[in-house]
Structure 1
Amino acid sequence: MFLTDGEFSEIKAFRRELHRNPEVSGEEAQTALRLKEELCLTGPDRIVADIGGHGLAAVYEGAASGRTIMIRAELDGLPIDEISDVTHRSTVPGKGHLCGHDGHMAILMALAKGLGQRRPARGRAILMFQPAEENGAGAAAVLADPKFAALTPDMSLSLHNFPGVRLGHVLLKAGPVNCASRGMKIVLKGKTSHASYPEQGIAPTFAMARLLDGLTTLGNNGSLGPDYSLVTVTHARLGEPAFGISPGEAQIWATLRTLTDEAMTALVSRAEELVLTQAKAGQLQVEISYEDVFHQCYNSAEAVAQLRQALDDEGVSHDDASSLLPMKASEDFGVFRTVAPAAMFFLGAGEDHPRLHNPDYDFPDELIAIGSRVFMRAIRNLLG
């Protein structure tokens, strides 16, 4: 163990402080400020603030030249009311750390303490606290920020806690581990009329009905292979809540999901073609936009090998989770693979633990020591 029990107790208390004060994607200013205060106490060689938004990077330099290894955690909570009865439950109505990002930050804070006490022998270790993971915007914003150029890693590592798997057991495999997804927002515009004279207007009713069915049938929802696709309609609205008006506008929100980015490109093309065809048939104007865009998350073999070695060195049980990975859920960490080998492992939060995004979820504090040990071992193996 690279920290004392007392130091881990302090980090546990810090995690609970973060849990009480969640901020959602793009609003993590106070979270970043509090992290910066704690990071400064560990004596990093450099802190880069406001990267990709409210992102924060702490840099620990080795005495000799070498590789740059980046460990990433997320800053943001969720716009969900917490119903837990834990004493450290959220104090912010309508917001909660119900995905465990508070625990992921605590794991990196443990690394900060350890690296502050003993620098890597060579190269650099960078602790990246990334904003806006939950809406898919954060990782891309970090990479696009000019400040990232001086931090570009030779390898990026991350983790996510995983309810439904034995506490402390790790799932890890090379290849695809998370699906690509994006939110498609469709606005159909016609012309209202009096409800007694619908023929005098241009209602999007029938086009909307066809799209609700047609979009869904674009996906196959089959096995998670290269051709996997899923379209889930998440919201629909037609006209105004009134009995005297024939509707002139409709909205459909749908989530498109595929295993690979290539398959997503094809699914987007088919979905747009369907929407444009129905809009034309109904003499409607149409607007299509996208939000919550996530690229596929793919684990590089080189990075996976380093994580496997670290898990073995630390005596942490693991397997390739062929029945659980890849998963349908999305994760924006995959974008970092565009600049260097990258891999994420999944750390079991308990077989009966409340699931991610559930209103009664809370990160298990026992995982702080396990996750930080694995990352610290990987850093020492790579950088000494």
Structure 2
Amino acid sequence: MFLIDRELEALTVFRRDLHRRPEVSGEERETAETIVASLAETKPDAVITGLGGHGVAAIYEGREPGPTVMVRAELDGLPIEEISEIGHRSQIAGKGHLCGHDGHMTILVALARGLGQMRPAKGRAILMFQPAEENGAGAAAVLADPKFADIKPDLVFSLHNFPGLRFGHAALRTGPVNCASRGMRISLSGKTAHASTPEDGIAPTFAVAALLSRLTALGNNGPLDETYTLVTVTHARLGEAAFGISPGYAEIWATLRTLTDARMADLVARAEALAAKEAGAAGLRVAISYEDVFHQCSNADAAVTALERAMDEEGVSRDRGEGVLPMKGSEDFGLFGRVAPSAMFFLGAGENHARLHNPDYDFPDDLIGIGAKVFMRAIRNELG
């Protein structure tokens, strides 16, 4: 193990300090500055900042040419009020590190300390601190940033802690592990009228009523295979909060979810066609926009094999995550698989641990050393 107890204690202090000062997607400036400062003592060969927003990439060069291995963590917290009695609870009202990204970042800082002490024999190790994971915008922004051309990974790893799974046990498999999803906003515009003469206006009332049920019916919520679809209406608004006005405007928000990007394209087309049909029948104008767009996350054979070997050599128990993987939840990591073989594993936070995004969640500090040793072993196996 490359981390001794004293270092793990310092990393725990660092993680808890991050936990106190969460920043949400797109606002991670101070978090990024903290990461850059923590990396300075490890003397990386290069640090790229402002990557896709507030992203940071630290590069550790090997002595000889070779492949590039990248490990990715997330910078952002959540817009959720933390409800907890822990001493390091969030000091920022309405925001909390309630998904464990503070712990994931700390694992990469631990890797930086190991790489600072001993560079790879060949190639490059890159530690990527990605912005805006929680809203699905970060990975796309990082990949679109011209500075990413200097990275060009050959292999990409990541992890996510997983409450409900035995502590320190890993779930890892080849193929799909997270669903694609996106938030669909349908805006319907007509014309208001006095409530006593609704015939003088164009109300979206009946179109909304039809879409609420028919959008939901597009989903089968069946087995998690290539045919899986789910449409969840999350919000609806009709007109103004007044008794004297027949409404002229409405919005419906729905989350579309599939296992694959191909199936998502089909579901989007069907949902848009349905919205256009109902709007046209009612004489309404329709506008559609999307937010929180997450692509499918699928693990590649080569990356999974590398992580399996590292876990076996470090004595970390694992299985294929039967009953756990793939999961319906989404993760902004899948796009990295388009530039290099990639894999994410899920590291158990304990069967009775508070669930992700719960207001009382806190990352288990004892996972720092476990996650770090798996990644370090994988890096050493690939780069020496």
Q: TM-score, normalised by structure 2?
A: 1.00
Structure 2 residue 105 is the aligned partner of structure 1 residue 105: yes
> 1:169 maps to what in 2?
169
User: Structure 1 CA distance, aligned partners of 2:195 and 2:6?
Assistant: 71
Tell me which amino acid in the other structure corresponds to 1:158: S
Q: Name the SS of the counterpart of 2:350 in structure 1.
A: coil
Tell me which amino acid in the other structure corresponds to 2:372: S
After TM superposition, the structure 1 = structure 2 runs for residues 118-133 of structure 1, keeping only pairs within 5 Å, are 118-133=118-133
> 2:271 maps to what in 1?
271
Tell me which amino acid in the other structure corresponds to 1:259: L
> 1:38 maps to what in 2?
38
> 2:86 maps to what in 1?
86
User: Structure 2 CA distance, aligned partners of 1:178 and 1:98?
Assistant: 19
Structure 2 residue 221 is the aligned partner of structure 1 residue 243: no
Q: Which runs of 4+ in 1 moved over 3 A?
A: none
> 2:59 maps to what in 1?
59
User: Structure 1 CA distance, aligned partners of 2:241 and 2:342?
Assistant: 49
After TM superposition, the structure 1 = structure 2 runs for residues 1-16 of structure 1, keeping only pairs within 5 Å, are 1-16=1-16
Once the two structures are superposed, what CA deviation does each residue of 1:344-384 show, in whole Å capped at 9, x if it has no partner?
00000000001000000000001000000000000000000
Tell me which amino acid in the other structure corresponds to 1:293: V
> 2:294 maps to what in 1?
294
Once the two structures are superposed, what CA deviation does each residue of 1:256-306 show, in whole Å capped at 9, x if it has no partner?
000000000000000000000000001000110001100000000110000
> 1:198 maps to what in 2?
198
Tell me which amino acid in the other structure corresponds to 1:37: A
User: Structure 1 CA distance, aligned partners of 2:362 and 2:248?
Assistant: 45
User: Structure 1 CA distance, aligned partners of 2:301 and 2:13?
Assistant: 36
Structure 2 residue 142 is the aligned partner of structure 1 residue 147: no
User: Structure 1 CA distance, aligned partners of 2:44 and 2:310?
Assistant: 24
Tell me which amino acid in the other structure corresponds to 2:77: G
> 2:372 maps to what in 1?
372
Supply the RMSD in Å over aligned alpha carbons: 0.4
Note the C-alpha offset of 1:3: 1.4
Tell me which amino acid in the other structure corresponds to 2:310: A
Tell me which amino acid in the other structure corresponds to 1:192: T
Q: Name the SS of the counterpart of 2:227 in structure 1.
A: coil
Once the two structures are superposed, what CA deviation does each residue of 1:192-246 show, in whole Å capped at 9, x if it has no partner?
0111111111100000000000000000000001000000001100001111111
Q: TM-score, normalised by structure 1?
A: 1.00
Q: Name the SS of the counterpart of 2:108 in structure 1.
A: helix
Tell me which amino acid in the other structure corresponds to 2:373: R
Tell me which amino acid in the other structure corresponds to 2:46: R
Tell me which amino acid in the other structure corresponds to 2:312: D
> 1:335 maps to what in 2?
335
Instruction: Tell me the matched-pair count.
Output: 384
Note the C-alpha offset of 1:322: 2.0
After TM superposition, the structure 1 = structure 2 runs for residues 315-326 of structure 1, keeping only pairs within 5 Å, are 315-326=315-326
User: Structure 2 CA distance, aligned partners of 1:74 and 1:275?
Assistant: 35
Tell me which amino acid in the other structure corresponds to 2:124: R
> 1:306 maps to what in 2?
306
User: Structure 2 CA distance, aligned partners of 1:249 and 1:219?
Assistant: 26
Note the C-alpha offset of 1:8: 1.0
What residue ranges of structure 1 are gaps of 5+ in the alignment? none
Q: Name the SS of the counterpart of 2:113 in structure 1.
A: helix
Identity of aligned residues (%): 68
User: Structure 2 CA distance, aligned partners of 1:322 and 1:258?
Assistant: 19
Tell me which amino acid in the other structure corresponds to 1:54: H
After TM superposition, the structure 1 = structure 2 runs for residues 248-259 of structure 1, keeping only pairs within 5 Å, are 248-259=248-259
Q: Name the SS of the counterpart of 2:230 in structure 1.
A: strand
User: Structure 1 CA distance, aligned partners of 2:182 and 2:215?
Assistant: 14
User: Structure 1 CA distance, aligned partners of 2:360 and 2:331?
Assistant: 21
User: Structure 1 CA distance, aligned partners of 2:364 and 2:81?
Assistant: 19
Instruction: Name which of structure 1's ranges 3-12 and 169-178 shifts more when overlaid on structure 2.
Output: 3-12
User: Structure 2 CA distance, aligned partners of 1:249 and 1:351?
Assistant: 46
Tell me which amino acid in the other structure corresponds to 2:112: A
Tell me which amino acid in the other structure corresponds to 2:263: A
User: Structure 2 CA distance, aligned partners of 1:8 and 1:42?
Assistant: 16
User: Structure 2 CA distance, aligned partners of 1:188 and 1:85?
Assistant: 45
User: Structure 1 CA distance, aligned partners of 2:285 and 2:357?
Assistant: 36
User: Structure 2 CA distance, aligned partners of 1:213 and 1:152?
Assistant: 46
